């Protein structure tokens, strides 16, 4: 079980770094009038494990902070992911 848990931690680190960078890239694209990353793609990254990166990206890049689906959705996804983690990997 430890191997699976370690693999999940590595996955979560990678997906959160990628998500954080994608939120920053989308902010840059918005400021430079470039083709944007879809909101559904940004939320999907949060949903597949990148919710910490999404939330951090929103705060650091000041991105999507006025959109309710992000200000409510990303923290809700994060809370759900924490609950799932605690159910799958309870403290010893």
For the entire predicted model, the pTM comes to 0.93
Q: Which residues contact 3 (CB under 8 A, 6 or more apart)?
A: none
Spell out the per-residue pLDDT of the chain, length 92, in tens.
688 889 999 999 999 999 999 999 999 999 999 999 999 999 999 999 999 999 999 999 999 999 999 999 999 999 999 999 999 888 86
Q: Tell me, what's the pLDDT at 2?
A: 82
Q: Tell me, what's the pLDDT at 21?
A: 98
Q: Tell me, what's the pLDDT at 83?
A: 96
The pLDDT > 70 percentage for the chain reads 98
Q: Is 11 helix (H, G, I), strand (E, B) or coil?
A: helix
Domain boundaries, the chain: 2-88
């Amino acid at each position: 079980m430890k191997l699976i848990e370690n693999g999940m931690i590595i996955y979560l680190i990678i997906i959160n770094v990628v998500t954080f960078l994608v939120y920053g890239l989308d902010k840059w694209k918005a400021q430079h009038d470039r083709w944007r990353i879809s909101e559904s793609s940004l939320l999907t990254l949060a949903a597949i494990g990148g919710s910490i990166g999404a939330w951090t990206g929103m705060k650091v890049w000041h991105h999507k902070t006025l959109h309710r689906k992000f200000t409510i959705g990303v923290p809700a996804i994060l809370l759900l992911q924490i609950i799932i983690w605690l159910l799958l990997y309870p403290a010893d």
